Amino acid sequence: MVVPGDRVLVAVSGGPDSVALLGALQMLAARCQIGLHAAHFNHGWRGAESDRDQACAVAVAARLGVECIIGTNTGAAATANREAQARAQRYAFLDAVAVACGCAKIATGHTLDDQAETVLMRLLRGSGWDGLAGIPPVRDGRIVRPLIACSRVEVLAFLQASELPFCADSSNTDRRFLRNRIRHEVVPLLRALNPETPRHLAAVADILAGEGRVLDAEIAPLLRTAHDGDGALAIPALRMAPPALVPRLVRAWLRAQRGSLDRLGAAHIRAVVELAYGAKPNGRMRLPGGGAVVREYERLWLQADAAPVAAVTACVLAPGSTVQLESGWRISAEMLRSPGTPPLPTDLWSLLADADAIQAPLIVRGARPGDRIRPLGMRGQRKLQDVFVDRKLPRAQRHSRPVVEVDGEVLWVPGVARSRCALISPQTRAALRLIAHDPAIAAGKPLC
């Protein structure tokens, strides 16, 4: 957890675990050649009791010859999820102090009993393999838990032998919090069945953490295979993976794309797997904390919360002009009056039309419900929506894809379809050429 020369910031709440942690590290500091600082964050939610805890932390640090830096709540009131709010504030403070003091490690007082309680909490919440691995002894190479293998009984015995004072946090008896109910109701019952239950639960967490690291190594090449160029997950590659590894593969992909798995549980991972394996080719699943996993045919990709792409506002496209749409699309029109038949387009990003066959002005607009087109190379008409599906145009792009209309008929949807209207022929005297520029191409993104 630490190496000679490390400076370690010890989080001291004033409770027994953190006081014992500071005392134990102070005893080892000289032998291990580590420097110590202490830090206490006063949330101020318990009035005089909070001030008492701060005074205790300062007094213990002074007795042990360790500097203690104090942080205070800037006035934020407790929210419904008070524990999560307190944790976020506390770690932000510890990170700032560690940087200011040049500390490579931050030590917290989590014990074996905390580990057992965490495993039980996550078991009740339906956590997967990684959740049941509990509290990591070392997180991100920076947060260390030196007491993670020590029981609360051992901590209290150490404090008594060292004659170190500590405070009891009254909120630890509040049965409204799940951890407290497990600590005061569930664990005593399990201890009655087997006194070694907390130690066994902590051992299970340790085993699962080790096996989890092995599985992570196994899925690393699978994840590289399943990734496509823009970070999306290829569903065919996902289906080829061993079924037992698929949830872990999805989890690793989400971690890589989001940067963390904050607020994601086993239920969310299962929902993403079901989205990939479902019969519907398109779908979307919101994630807690923002964003969504989107399925578009054979790909999953992570969509960040952002303002929707602007829909297309109808405008006239005259020969010799260019229209610039708010969505980034640009469509230009030019007349070709040179003799001979000009070369036909080789893709759907440009169009040649017989200028004499176009009597009405060209209108550039967005797709509308009920739009139909007479696709070149096919008989009859087709719903534009069905053409979008056949072309696998992502749902998110359909409302921003421009449609070029002439005299009430869809002439062209850039990159998607061209109608049989106003085709070039040997009798054509003047041609109208349209060229579309897609902002996604300019950004180097896949079209669909």
Q: How far apart are CA 266 and CA 129, in angstroms?
A: 9
For residue 78, the one-letter residue type is: A
Give, in words, the CATH class of 227-303: alpha beta
Tokens 């005392």 belong to residue = 23
pLDDT on residue 266: 84
pLDDT for the residue numbered 389: 83
Instruction: Give the CA-trace dihedral at 212, 214, 220, 226, to 10 degrees.
Output: -60
pTM of the model: 0.67
CA–CA distance, 117 with 181 (Å, rounded to integer): 10
The Cα–Cα gap between 2 and 8 comes to 8
In angstroms, the CA 154 to CA 411 distance is 80
Q: What is the DSSP string of 335-349?
A: EE-SSSPPPPPSSTT
Task: Give backbone dihedrals phi and psi of 367, rounded to 5 degrees, phi first.
Answer: -65, 145
How many whole angstroms from its chain centre is CA 306? 14
CB 6 within 8 A of CB 104: yes
Q: Exposure pattern of 214-246 as b/e (b: 16+ CB <10 Å)?
A: ebeeebeebbeebbeeeebbbbebbeebeeeeb
Residues 6+ apart with CB under 8 A from 445: 230
CA dihedral (92, 98, 104, 108) in degrees, to 10, reads -60
Ranges of residues in the chain with a pLDDT under 50 are 307-309, 442-448
Residue 262 CB neighbours (<10 A): 9
Helices (H), 125-196: 129-132, 152-162, 178-181, 187-193
pLDDT at 338: 64
Alpha carbons 68 and 60: distance in angstroms, whole number: 9
Q: What is the number of residues in the chain? A: 448
Domain locations in the chain? 7-201, 227-303, 315-442
Assigned CATH topology for domain 7-201:
Rossmann fold (3.40.50)
* Residue where the block lists tokens 């610039």: 324
Please report the pLDDT score of residue 79 as a whole number: 54
